[in-house]
């Protein structure tokens, strides 16, 4: 069975896409902990990030860096935080989160629903900065 992220990659489920290349995709987390919270996902469905081979993992991280640079430009913040959890969706992914204080990285706080128009506007502004 394919993961929800594979369904997004296949175009079967919509997403707020911010970047893509032949091996990776990045889209906004549907339930963001901070504005601009982005998931970076390899198109090859692998459950656990540390089961990726060295080359694949290196390329994945370099792609995530390009997405982080776009986020830095599009979202006012001090840094882009990066974390891996993977307990909910068994398809490797990196969370990139624009942060100003450490608490902006907290996954266990209440996550208010974000307006769809705002999500699309954020995705569009990040996508414009992606090179």
Sort 63 into a burial class: Cβ within 10 Å, 0-12 / 13-18 / 19+: buried
Of residues 77 and 89, the one with the C-beta less far from ligand AMP: 89
> What token pair was written down for 8?
């997004």
Which part of the chain contacts ligand AMP (CB under 6 A), choosing from 17-25, 55-63, 80-88, 112-120?
80-88
Check binding of 89 to ligand AMP (CB under 6 A).
yes
Instruction: Quote the CA–CA distance of 57 and 36 in Å, as a whole number.
Output: 23
Question: Among residues 10, 62, 85, 121, which is the contact residue for ligand AMP, using CB under 6 A?
Answer: 85
Check binding of 87 to ligand AMP (CB under 6 A).
yes
Check binding of 31 to ligand AMP (CB under 6 A).
yes
Instruction: Quote the CA–CA distance of 86 and 84 in Å, as a whole number.
Output: 6
Least Å distance, CB 60 to ligand AMP, is: 15
Check binding of 35 to ligand AMP (CB under 6 A).
no
Check binding of 113 to ligand AMP (CB under 6 A).
no
Instruction: Answer yes or no: 93 catalytic.
Output: yes
* Binding-residue pattern over the window 1 to 20 for ligand AMP, x denoting contact by CB under 6 A: ---x--------x-x-----
The full DSSP string for 12-81 is: SS---EEEE-SSEEEEE-SS-SSTT-EEEEESS--S-GGGS-HHHHHHHHHHHHHHHHHHHHHS--SEEE
Find residue 27's DSSP bridge partners: 17, 39
Which part of the chain contacts ligand AMP (CB under 6 A), choosing from 47-55, 67-75, 84-92, 113-121?
84-92
Q: Which residues are catalytic?
A: 93
């Amino acid at each position: 069975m394919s993961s929800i992220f594979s369904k997004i990659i296949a175009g079967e489920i919509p997403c707020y896409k911010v970047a893509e290349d032949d091996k990776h995709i990045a889209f906004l987390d549907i339930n963001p902990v901070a504005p601009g919270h982005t998931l970076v996902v390899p198109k090859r469905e692998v459950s656990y990030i540390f089961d990726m081979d060295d080359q694949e993992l290196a390329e994945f991280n370099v792609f995530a860096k390009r997405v982080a640079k776009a986020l830095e430009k599009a979202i006012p913040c001090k840094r882009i935080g990066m974390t891996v959890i993977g307990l909910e969706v068994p398809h490797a992914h990196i969370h990139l989160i624009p942060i100003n204080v450490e608490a902006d990285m907290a996954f266990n706080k209440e996550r208010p629903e974000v307006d769809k128009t705002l999500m699309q506007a954020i995705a569009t502004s990040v996508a414009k900065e992606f090179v």
